[in-house]
Amino acid sequence: MSDPVPPPAPGGPPDTHGRWVSNATSLINSTASFVSQASKEWFDFLIDQPVKPPFRFNASFRNEYPRVVRLVVVVVVFSAAILGGAEYFFREVAALSVVRLTMMILLAAFVATIIYLPIAYVFGVRVKTPGKKKPLSPRQVLFSLLFTFVPWLPVFTFLSVAMIPAKGTLLILVILGFWLSCIYLIFNFTKTIILITKCAWYLVVMSIVFPLACVIAFVFFR
């Protein structure tokens, strides 16, 4: 009978294989947990707008940055997968690409916030706190835009992809679905601003319709 193999002496060579397996397992578990949580949050924001919480009267959105980043990342990954399937996903969607697209979405939301804030103020959209009225904060507009519009990016990506080969009745249905989705999102954003401010609905509607009308006029009559 052969003698048992003694355990490695203290100070001997490190167990690199065991460490690699442990690190890989930890990474897989963290990724699975992230995808599971982000997917659930994405589905909630997709079908139930505005979600309560985080949306409520005079919401501050103080601790929503981790959730909104998870939402944007999972939406970018889903949209890329829809664009080209699994082959495109593994070939094109590297970590840096996800970060770049995430930053572009956040930047677009910041620009839209800067544009909408003065328009909302001009049309009298105010948060009716006890004893006074105050304007919407940049944080309230930014997170309202992100949590309302970003979850639907995979849907618009799918409709855009479906529009290319579609013909006849199918093309009409895809275009109709695109515009109905746009109207639905604008309606949800209106509900969100009304929920946060408790402002008169017609003031909120005018503050949203006015910039949209300007954009449409610029596109069609420039």
Q: Quick check: pTM over 0.85?
A: no
Query: What secondary structure does DSSP assign to 89-142, as a single string?
Result: HHHH--HHHHHHHHHHHHHHHHHHHHHHHHHHHHTT-EEEETTEEEEPPHHHHH
Question: Cβ(174)–Cβ(166) under 8 Å?
Answer: yes
pLDDT digits (tens, 9 = 90+) for 42-75: 888 888 888 888 899 999 888 888 888 888 888 8
Beta-bridge partner residues of 135:
126
Q: What is the DSSP letter of 50?
A: S
pLDDT digits (tens, 9 = 90+) for 85-126: 544 545 544 555 666 777 888 899 999 999 999 999 999 999
